[in-house]
Amino acid sequence: MPAPEPRANPLLLGHDAAEATILDAIFAGRMHHAWLITGPEGVGKATLAYRFARRLLAGRPMDQSLALDAANPVFRRVAAGSHSDMQTIERAYNPKSKRMRTQIAVDDVRKVNGFMHLTPAEGGWRVVVVDGAEEMNAASANALLKVLEEPPPRAVLLLVSSSPGRLLPTIRSRCRRLRLGQLDDATMDTLLRQYLPALSDDERGRLVTLAEGSPGRAIMMAEDEGLAISAIVDGLLANIPAFRMSRGYEIADALAKSETGFSTFMDLLRAGVSSAVRAAARGQADPEQERMVAVRPIDAWDDLWQGLTRLQDETERFALDKRQAIVAGLGMLTGTTP
């Protein structure tokens, strides 16, 4: 089955320490008013936030677990976004542009203050999840800071962020922090067997390697032809001296047809470069990686990686021509003039 949305996902593996910290706070009766859940993208941050929220809304657990049965009315209402004591703040759809907003709107954040100061409708807690907290602009962040400075009783704010460094220091300092790490290969394999049962053992193993401990990334790559794009990247890196730009245009044309092809391609290309250079620097490169790294000096590979990162960031941020960006990136990689 495909992985459910975080608010409806009953399964979370590999983050026992974070769950234990939350349970200790619940049982000790010392619940911090704000928690910042951080870590790489796709490792389960939002899933943990909703798991945390459901447990607070459902009442004190009977055992050492945050898990709540999917048939429980609280679970179902949180999954449906209809629980009266819970609110989610995230980037919203803009009906005028017919696209997702690029930032969390200040008006949405201002609603948090009034909501959290209400008496819990069901006698327990008020919970707000801010998913993608780093996407707040300056006005949104300052509005949230007002809530943190004067926290109401029986209310908890859960901030989810893959880039906590983009948050105001004054916001970070007022939150108790939970950092989630990458999952180990065995846990990744277990999750992918459940979420992607149609994959062969070889395909699942390849995704475990490519996703670098992020089940969300693995699922996205499986859905977005990540395995096929990975094969393209591997071929490029293994044969840089033989590359011809005519092949680059073919790749760019093929990837441009996919909504996520550009991002997946650039992520895998940068990851492949980084992995090969690290292995070479440690004397652990395989023959294919050694041939690739020998194409240019080690320090030049760092400049290339930085250049590819800027190219991807600017293309996605300013909605530039992705086909041209792929061609430009391949030119940077191979030293070939488009």
Mean pLDDT per 10-residue interval, the chain, length 338 residues? 86 96 94 97 97 94 88 96 96 74 90 92 93 95 93 95 95 97 97 94 91 91 86 92 92 88 92 91 90 91 94 91 95 87
Domain ranges in the chain?
6-179, 224-334
pLDDT on residue 2? 66
pLDDT on residue 19? 96
- The Cβ of residue 296 has, within 10 Å, a number of other Cβ atoms equal to 14
Token pair recorded at residue 296: 């240019």
**Residue 136: C-alpha distances to residues 74, 100, 110, 252, 279 (Å):** 28, 14, 12, 33, 37
pLDDT on residue 251? 95
pLDDT on residue 55? 95
Q: How far apart are CA 48 and CA 67, in angstroms?
A: 10
pTM for the full model? 0.82
pLDDT on residue 98? 66
- The Cβ of residue 28 has, within 10 Å, a number of other Cβ atoms equal to 8
Q: How far apart are CA 299 and CA 321, in angstroms?
A: 29
Homologous superfamily (CATH) for 6-179: P-loop containing nucleotide triphosphate hydrolases (3.40.50.300)
Q: How far apart are the first and last CA of the chain?
A: 43
pLDDT on residue 96? 73
Q: How far apart are CA 114 and CA 73, in angstroms?
A: 25
